[in-house]
Amino acid sequence: MTNIKDMGVIARSNKLITIYCHPEHQLTTKCIAVAKASKAEVQIIEIDKTKVTGTEWTELADLLNLKIEDLIAKNHPEFLKIYNNNVTLDPEDAIKLLQHEPQVLAFPIAIRGDKAIQAKNSTDIMALHKPDSKDAKLP
């Protein structure tokens, strides 16, 4: 029996790697290439074109065991136009910022099944590869 508390709004599957990213982030292209080297399907959510709801941002942060504000690059020029880098954002302000200034997302976020990672390096995506794809050729 599935626990309602464990059900989220983000569709998750062990056969699918979903990447939430901003297309201008320096790691986006590399992360996508590493994900495609696995045997999983790859779904790209470009957060500048696809509205990510507050519930989805909350779920992503929960999957990563982070606060929503930890998803934000506080040294990004767009962030610094609005706040100083020492500010503490409440969840609602962090969500609004990610929705209106999506380029402040610190790192691409990738999900496969119940596992999520913040890709600080493109090879971090390999943590989502299954053992059956260990022979996958990396780009």
- Domain assignment present for residue 79? The answer is yes
Question: Residue 73 belongs to what domain range?
Answer: 15-125
- Domain assignment present for residue 138? The answer is no
Given the structure tokens 């910022």, which residue do they identify? 97
Could you give the number of structural domains in the chain? 1
Strand ranges of the sheet holding 109-112, from the earlier edge strand across to the other edge: 41-46, 16-21, 109-112, 115-118
- Domain assignment present for residue 2? The answer is no
- Domain assignment present for residue 26? The answer is yes
Residue partners of 85: CB distance under 8 A and separation at least 6: 74, 75, 79
- Domain assignment present for residue 97? The answer is yes
**80-124 residue pLDDT tens:** 999 987 899 999 999 999 999 999 999 999 999 999 999 999 999
Q: What is the pLDDT of residue 135?
A: 40
Q: What is this structure's pTM?
A: 0.87
- Domain assignment present for residue 95? The answer is yes
- Domain assignment present for residue 1? The answer is no
As a whole-number percent, the residues of the chain with pLDDT over 90 amount to: 76
The CATH number of residue 20's host domain is 3.40.30.10
